[in-house]
Amino acid sequence: MGRRGPARWGLATLGSAVRNPLDLMKIRPCQFGVQDPLSNTFGFVRANNTRAHQGWDLVAAPGTPVYAVADGVTKAGISGSYGSWLTLKFSHKGHTYFAFYAHLLSYLTWAQNQSVAEGTEIALTGRSGNAQRIPLSEAHLHFEVRTTEFPAGKLSGRIDPGEIFGYRIYSSHA
């Protein structure tokens, strides 16, 4: 557990104040065996564009290290659809956000009100919550950027992670 060097810091090398939540940033390409990477991005991208998906589903085998995207404070919990989850309250360009990590296997911090540094390993990916039902080959980290800690449904209280992390990830799903 600890900080990673600049070669491992994703967007930090571009002068951004955040780093990627995973070392490998790739949108999950399939939904239950069907090629459909768009449905694993942010927005009304599911069920013929009638159902919202609140973040990015990033390819990650169970046990993959998850990192703090910025200096911040963690909280953790469990829910039916998200399974084991962790939030990281952080500031970026004068705004407060909450990075939300879901379908986790375990936490690598004390999880509740723990201050962590950008780049700290904070959790391991898993298949908890509704991710238990997907094929192992589609294991992923569900990652959101929230503007409020516990938003209502659909897209309220959330922004497209691309607004902070950039959109080049959309060209990496092929």
Give residue 23's domain range: 6-172
The answer, yes or no, to whether residue 97 has pLDDT greater than 70, is yes
Indicate whether 1 belongs to any domain.
no
CA dihedral for 132, 138, 143, 144, sign (positive or negative): negative
pLDDT at 82: 95
CA-CA distance, 159 to 155, in Å (whole number)?
8
Indicate whether 151 belongs to any domain.
yes
Supply the Cα-derived Rg of the chain in whole angstroms.
15
CA-CA distance, 4 to 148, in Å (whole number)?
28
Closest CA to 67 of 25, 28, 27: 25
CA-CA distance, 174 to 172, in Å (whole number)?
6
The answer, yes or no, to whether residue 7 has pLDDT greater than 90, is no
CA dihedral for 17, 20, 23, 25, sign (positive or negative): negative
Q: Domains in the chain: how many in total?
A: 1
pLDDT at 55: 93
Average pLDDT over residues 25-36: 88
CA dihedral for 37, 43, 46, 52, sign (positive or negative): positive
The answer to whether 117 and 68 have CB atoms below 8 angstroms apart is yes
CATH number at 138 reads: 2.70.70.10
The answer, yes or no, to whether residue 11 has pLDDT greater than 80, is no
Closest CA to 92 of 146, 143, 168: 146
Average pLDDT over residues 49-71: 93
Instruction: Express each pLDDT in 108-166 by its tens digit.
Output: 876 688 999 999 999 999 999 999 999 999 999 999 999 999 998 899 999 999 999 98
pLDDT at 10: 35
Average pLDDT over residues 43-54: 85
Indicate whether 62 belongs to any domain.
yes
In DSSP terms, which residues pair with 164 in a beta bridge?
Answer: none
The answer, yes or no, to whether residue 94 has pLDDT greater than 80, is yes
Closest CA to 71 of 9, 121, 14, 120: 120
